[in-house]
Copies of this chain bind each other. A is one copy, B any other.
Amino acid sequence: MAPAVATTIDVPRPLIAIDWGTSSLRGARLGDDGAVLEERAFPRGILTVPAGEFPAVFDELFGDWMSAPDALCLIAGMAGSKQGWIEAPYCACPAGAAGLSRQLAWVEAGRIAIVPGLSCEHDGVPDVMRGEETQVFGALNLLGIDSGTLVLPGTHSKWVRVESGGIRDFSTAMTGEFYALLRQHSILARTLPSEDGAFHGDAFDAGVAHAMRSPGLLQSAFSARTLALFDRMPQAQQPSYLSGLVIGEELRERALHADAHVIVVGAAVLTLRYERALAALGVRADTVGAQAGWRGLHDIARTIRA
C-alpha cells in the first residue's frame, strides 16, 4: 500500500480560535492571514462550567461563528484538562506546532479540537503547561524567529526554551500566586493598603533589587513587613514593592546573564513590569502582546494534516 500523502488543510476555512482558561473564556474569529476580525470575552472559565455543559456554553457563546460553512475551531487552555471539556493528554517535550496538531483532541471530528498542553520532567519531577505553548508558537511567528528564551508571566509564570521551532524545555514559577497569597492572606496584608492603587516605579525597583541580593523569598519577603513597621516606605508604595520583590525573585531564580535576551509574552499590565525588572539587570527584552495566542492557533491550524 502506498503511504498516504499528507496534505495540509486549506486555511481559507474560517478559523475560530478559543482560549478557554481556568477563570476566563476568550474567542476570536480569524481572517485567512490570521488577522483578528472579531473578539469576544466572557467570565466563563472552566471552573464556572458544570461537567457536561461545555457543548451548551460553547454553542451559546460561539454558535453563530460556527455556523459559517466549513468553520474550524481550535481551543487552547484548561478546557483540555481533567476538569475541562474533554481531556487532551499532555504532549511530551520537545514539541513543535506540527506535533501538537497531530495530538489534537477532537471534540467533533474535523470541526472542533482542543490543543494538548505540554509536559517535561527534571530530576523526576514533572512540569506542565496548558495554553502557553500556543502563545509561544504565536510569539515566535510574530517575531519571525525559531529559537529563544520566552517568559509568559502570570499566576504561574512559564519560562520556555525554544530551539529550531520546537519547545525543548520549560519551568514554572508560581509568582502571581505567591503575590496574591502574600498580598491577601499573610501578615503583610495587615500593613498593606486594601487596594493596590497606582504603580510606584521606585518602590518596585527597590523590591527587585532587594530580591536580587537576597538568597531567597523566605528571607526577602519579611522586608515588606519591617519596612512598614519602621515607616521606611509609604503604605501606598508597598504593593509595588511587593510586586518587585516576587518578580525580582523569579528573575533571581533564573540566574540570567546580563547579556541574555528574553521574549516577554502577555498583557501589557504584566509585561511592562517584567521589562522594567529585566532592564534593571541589563537583560534585553522583546515583548509580544496577548494576540500571540490567536496567531499560535492559526499556526497550529495550518499544520493539521487531513
What residues of chain A have their CB less than 8 Å away from a CB belonging to chain B?
123-128, 156-157, 171-175, 177-178, 181-182, 184-187, 210, 213, 215-219, 221-223, 226-227, 229-230, 232, 246, 249-250, 252-255
**Nearest B-chain residue to A171, judged by Cβ:** B219
Q: Name the 8 nearest CB pairs between A and B, nearest first.
A: A216-B253, A173-B218, A215-B253, A126-B226, A181-B181, A172-B222, A125-B223, A185-B185
Interface pair B174/A227, CB less than 8 Å apart? no
Interface pair B174/A185, CB less than 8 Å apart? no
For A216, the chain B residues whose CB sits under 8 A away are 216-217, 249, 252-253
For A213, the chain B residues whose CB sits under 8 A away are 123
Interface pair A178/B210, CB less than 8 Å apart? no
Cβ of A249 to closest chain B Cβ, rounded Å? 6
A175 to B156, CA, bound (A): 21
Cβ of A131 to closest chain B Cβ, rounded Å? 15
For A232, the chain B residues whose CB sits under 8 A away are 124, 126
A217 to B246, CA, bound (A): 11
Cβ of A170 to closest chain B Cβ, rounded Å? 11
Interface pair B181/A185, CB less than 8 Å apart? yes
Tallying the copies of this chain within the complex gives 2
Q: Which of B127, B187, B246 contacts A226 (CB 8 A)?
A: B127
A250 to B219, CA, bound (A): 8
**Nearest B-chain residue to A175, judged by Cβ:** B218
Interface pair B177/A229, CB less than 8 Å apart? no
Cβ of A209 to closest chain B Cβ, rounded Å? 9
Q: Which of B126, B174, B218, B223 contacts A253 (CB 8 A)?
A: B218
Q: Which of B127, B249, B255 contacts A222 (CB 8 A)?
A: B127
Between A and B, 15 residue pairs with Cβ closer than 8 Å are A126-B229, A127-B222, A127-B226, A156-B187, A172-B219, A173-B218, A174-B187, A174-B221, A175-B218, A181-B182, A181-B185, A181-B186, A215-B254, A216-B217, A216-B253
A219 to B171, CA, bound (A): 7
Most chain B beta-carbon neighbours within 10 Å: one of A171, A174, A252:
A174
Q: Known contacts A218-B217, A222-B156, A253-B216: does B229 contact A128 (CB below 8 Å)?
A: yes
A156 to B186, CA, bound (A): 11
Cβ of A90 to closest chain B Cβ, rounded Å? 9
For A175, the chain B residues whose CB sits under 8 A away are 218
Q: Known contacts A128-B229, A185-B185: does B219 contact A123 (CB below 8 Å)?
A: no
For A124, the chain B residues whose CB sits under 8 A away are 232
A233 to B252, CA, bound (A): 29
A253 to B174, CA, bound (A): 18
A2 to B187, CA, bound (A): 51
Most chain B beta-carbon neighbours within 10 Å: one of A175, A177, A216, A221:
A216
